[in-house]
């Protein structure tokens, strides 16, 4: 989880053609990341909308005005694809599905994860256990909980019309786009790739100035899954990456090498910390980031440290012992 360095996202309130028959729009977000991209891809008739932005009035108004400026009606959106079920990517999905009558598509694993979250009162069911085991102080836990309460309206119990497992194709006016399952940032995250056009919609899997947050999930090795999914993308020919946040860019192979290197380095830093003295994930966050994190970023940081610890535990590098409910990690 590296924050954007320097360059701010160019905010425009109109759709821009980033490739023939592909329109991009940055929608505002009420947190540090500033904006999330949505894309319209021309179909034989109408458009495919990739991601939906966050469920806020400024985001809805930005999208509404941009559609109107292009002479587009809601019903021109025939299909909606969600790269993953994070609030900034799916928040307006229910609203846009109702306005457009579009078909909804996402990965099966992500649909299952969404069901878990919506059934858990619109929150991750294992959140309390994770905070307790990570040794998070009660006051900070309350501040993180307050953030989750504020984003709950983004999680709707959606009923996808099409569920992917990876490898399926979507026919567009630019030819077929292939679904690539890229677990790591979220378990059912998908990218969309055109072999003919060498265009990749990367969601949050590949973001130019940010390493995507890797979130721990029970029973899974999310860091290993993330690095494996990145390695599987090295062989793709990509001229244009259209990411979930920030500007279009290229150079996925160098980015993948740098990002995998970053996570190995992170593992070594964490190993160094627990080698010095046994400690909880919460204490490691302060050592690793060395700056005040907002409650939501502290939450991401804890889950990211846990994902690295899980990875190293499976390799036999670290282990843990119970200390009054909190887990102390040691070598
Ligand atoms: Zn995300
Ligand atoms: Zn995102």
pLDDT, tens digit, for every residue of 121-159? 777 888 889 999 999 999 999 998 888 888 888 888 899
Q: Are 29 and 35 in contact (CB under 8 A)?
A: yes
CA 14 – ligand 2 centroid, Å:
20
CA 230 – ligand 2 centroid, Å:
17
pLDDT, tens digit, for every residue of 260-286? 999 999 999 999 999 999 999 999 999
CA 245 – ligand 2 centroid, Å:
6
Nearest residue to 83 (alpha-carbon basis) of 58, 60, 104, 61: 104
Q: Which ligand is nearest to the CA of 29?
A: 2
Residue 119 C-alpha from the chain's centroid: 20
Q: Which ligand is nearest to the CA of 36?
A: 2
Q: Which ligand is nearest to the CA of 207?
A: 2
In a domain, 41, yes or no: yes
User: In this structure, is the dihedral angle defined by the CA atoms of residues 14, 18, 21 and 22, taken in order, positive or negative?
Assistant: negative
Mean pLDDT of 236-256: 97
CA 330 – ligand 1 centroid, Å:
30
In a domain, 11, yes or no: no
CA 19 – ligand 1 centroid, Å:
24
Q: Are 90 and 52 in contact (CB under 8 A)?
A: yes
Q: Which ligand is nearest to the CA of 54?
A: 2
In which band, very low, low, confident or very high, does the pLDDT at 12 lie, cut at 50, 70 and 90?
Answer: low
pLDDT, tens digit, for every residue of 279-293? 999 999 999 998 889
Q: Which domain holds residue 151?
A: 16-251
In a domain, 192, yes or no: yes
Residue 238: C-alpha distances to residues 7, 66, 174, 200, 252 (Å) = 23, 28, 15, 7, 7
What would the two tokens of residue 71 be?
């002479």
Count of Cβ atoms closer than 10 Å to residue 27 Cβ: 25
Cα distance between residue 195 and residue 179, in whole Å: 11
pLDDT at 26 over 70: yes
Q: Which ligand is nearest to the CA of 184?
A: 1
Q: Which residue has the tokens 């457009």?
A: 100
Mean pLDDT of 161-184: 98
Count of Cβ atoms closer than 10 Å to residue 73 Cβ: 11
In a domain, 66, yes or no: yes
CATH of the domain at 210: 3.60.15.10
CA 321 – ligand 1 centroid, Å:
31
User: In this structure, is the dihedral angle defined by the CA atoms of residues 296, 297, 303 and 306, taken in order, positive or negative?
Assistant: negative
CA 82 – ligand 2 centroid, Å:
11
Nearest residue to 45 (alpha-carbon basis) of 86, 2, 75, 17: 75
Q: 235 CB contacts (<8 Å, ≥6 apart)?
A: none
Count of Cβ atoms closer than 10 Å to residue 315 Cβ: 11
Cα distance between residue 48 and residue 42, in whole Å: 6
More confident residue, 30 or 176: 176
In which band, very low, low, confident or very high, does the pLDDT at 40 lie, cut at 50, 70 and 90?
Answer: very high
Q: Which ligand is nearest to the CA of 188?
A: 1
Kindly report the average pLDDT of the chain as a whole number.
93
**Which pLDDT value is given to residue 4?**
46
In a domain, 326, yes or no: no
Residue 228: C-alpha distances to residues 184, 221, 243, 263 (Å) = 9, 11, 19, 12
CA 106 – ligand 1 centroid, Å:
14
Q: Which residue has the tokens 């946040």?
A: 245
CA 36 – ligand 2 centroid, Å:
6
pLDDT, tens digit, for every residue of 84-119? 999 999 999 999 999 999 999 999 999 999 998 888
CA 88 – ligand 2 centroid, Å:
6
CA 202 – ligand 1 centroid, Å:
11
**Which pLDDT value is given to residue 324?**
85
Q: Which residue has the tokens 């060498």?
A: 198
CA 88 – ligand 1 centroid, Å:
7
What would the two tokens of residue 5 be?
């360095």
CA 322 – ligand 1 centroid, Å:
31
**Burial class of residue 7 in the structure, from the number of CB atoms within 10 Å of its CB (0-12 exposed, 13-18 middle, 19+ buried):** exposed
CA 205 – ligand 1 centroid, Å:
8
Count up the domains in the chain and report the number: 1
In which band, very low, low, confident or very high, does the pLDDT at 7 lie, cut at 50, 70 and 90?
Answer: very low
């Amino acid at each position: 989880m590296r924050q954007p360095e320097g360059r701010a996202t160019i905010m425009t309130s109109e759709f821009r053609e980033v490739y023939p028959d592909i329109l991009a729009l940055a929608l505002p977000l009420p947190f540090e990341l500033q904006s999330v991209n949505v894309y319209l891809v021309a179909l034989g008739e109408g458009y495919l909308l990739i991601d939906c932005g966050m469920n806020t009035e400024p985001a809805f108004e930005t999208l509404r005005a941009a559609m109107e400026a292009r002479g587009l009606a809601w019903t021109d959106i025939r299909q909606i694809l969600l790269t993953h079920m994070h609030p900034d990517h799916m928040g307006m999905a229910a609203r846009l599905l109702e306005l457009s009558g579009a078909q909804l598509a996402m990965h099966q694993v992500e649909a299952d994860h969404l069901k878990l979250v919506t059934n858990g009162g619109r929150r991750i069911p294992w959140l309390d256990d994770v905070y307790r085991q990570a040794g998070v102080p009660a006051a900070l836990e309350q501040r993180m909980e307050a953030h989750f309460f504020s984003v709950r309206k983004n999680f709707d119990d959606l009923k996808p019309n099409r569920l992917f497992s990876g490898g399926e194709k979507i026919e567009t006016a630019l030819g077929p786009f292939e679904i690539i399952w890229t677990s790591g940032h979220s378990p059912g995250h998908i990218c969309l790739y055109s072999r003919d056009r060498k265009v990749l919609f990367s969601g949050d899997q590949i973001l130019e100035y940010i390493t995507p947050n890797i979130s721990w999930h029970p029973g899974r090795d999310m860091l290993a899954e993330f690095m494996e999914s990145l390695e599987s993308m090295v062989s793709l020919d990509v001229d244009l990456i259209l990411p979930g946040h920030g500007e279009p860019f290229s150079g996925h192979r160098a980015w993948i090498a740098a990002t995998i290197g970053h996570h190995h380095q992170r593992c070594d830093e964490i190993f160094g910390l627990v080698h010095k003295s046994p400690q909880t994930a919460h204490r490691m966050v302060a050592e690793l980031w060395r700056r005040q994190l907002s409650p939501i970023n502290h939450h991401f940081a804890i889950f990211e440290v846990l994902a690295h610890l899980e990875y190293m535990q499976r390799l036999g590098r670290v282990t843990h012992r119970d200390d009054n409910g909190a887990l102390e990690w040691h070598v």
